[in-house]
Amino acid sequence: MTLVLGVDIGGTDIKLGLVTEEGEIRASGKIPTEPARGPEEAAARAAAWLAEHGRGAGPVVAAGVDCAGLIDGECGFLHTSPNLAGWDDVPLRSLFERALGCPVIVENDANAAAYGEWARGAGAGMRNFVCLTLGTGVGGGIVLNGALYRGSSGFAGEIGHTVILAGGPPCTCGNRGCLEAMISAKAIIARALEMLRSAGERRPGWDGALTVEMLSHAAAAGDAIAVAALAETGRYLGIGLTNVVHILAPEAIAVGGGVAGAGDFILDPARATLRDCVMDEAMASVRIVPAMLGNKASFIGVSLLALAKANERP
């Protein structure tokens, strides 16, 4: 059996999985990231996990490593990551190849998630597909003509940093009015609290502890403020998706991540905005769908990318 190791490096945890060429997960787990210990130590601990959990599973022919940030996949370098303080200009590929003893590819986490969803999830069977991951930030990945699209710089797919409100709130990238600045978890919570303040109302437990998950539960219970805050978020998402549709005309756009757990409270207003804003001919064939693979999308995707790369080698 052919197995590939997927390593998805987040700010808190590193998720790992042994994945078959069919995308089936044979073993999975996670270890603390502890970024302050450095990338070389992270690679060593990933190798230790593989030694323990891969025993008897079969040979691992390659590994894929992904994380958020600006990644040069050709050179295997992580230039910078918002979640990994101090990990600047890190040769991730060479570090993990030494630790794991197999060929390694390195990819942006949103690209990896998009590829996973395209190969084995919401985009299966499609030629042109886009995936957005909504959470602390907004990640994007693009599959065009059956291949992951990285652009001439290697950094294509940063849909979260398209400007949808000129002069709007500041974004972590330094710009203003980016999609991420309008629909990140932080932005949604701020929107709900401002709506609550404007209405002169209070909600037990919201002060200082509100989460998007709490808002989703409140909306399901009929809370008008929660419904309104999520609906406005969906309208901004719809504006961002309108631009994606007009530029790329994919068969489908999948939306995943923690914020997407609000489901149709966000997606229905996004779909309505698309119907209002997209040219009819472009909209006719585009579907907005929930992502299917959850938090396993990235390591499934980066594993399959690593397998594809390994199969190219003579």
Q: What is the CATH number of domain 122-292?
A: 3.30.420.40
Distance separating alpha carbons of residues 62 and 25, to the nearest angstrom? 15
At 88 the pLDDT is: 92
Shared fold status for 3-109+295-312 and 122-292: yes
What is the three-class DSSP state of 144? Answer: strand
Distance separating alpha carbons of residues 151 and 141, to the nearest angstrom? 11
3-109+295-312 is a CATH 3.30.420.40 domain: yes
Q: State the DSSP string of 194-240.
A: HHHHHTT---TTTTTT--HHHHHHHHHTT-HHHHHHHHHHHHHHHHH
Domain ranges of the chain: 3-109+295-312, 122-292
Distance separating alpha carbons of residues 295 and 179, to the nearest angstrom? 22
Model-level pTM?
0.89
Distance separating alpha carbons of residues 81 and 151, to the nearest angstrom? 19
Tens of each residue's pLDDT in the chain, 314 residues: 788 999 999 888 999 999 888 888 888 899 999 999 999 999 999 999 999 887 767 788 999 999 988 888 888 999 988 889 899 999 999 999 999 999 999 999 999 999 999 999 999 999 999 999 888 889 899 999 999 998 887 788 999 999 999 999 999 888 999 999 999 999 999 999 999 999 999 888 888 789 999 999 999 999 999 999 999 999 999 999 999 999 999 999 999 888 888 788 999 999 999 989 988 776 767 889 999 998 889 888 999 999 888 877 65
Helical H segments across the chain, by residue range? 39-53, 92-100, 109-120, 179-183, 185-198, 212-220, 224-248, 264-277, 280-283, 297-312
List 52's β-bridge partners, or say none. none
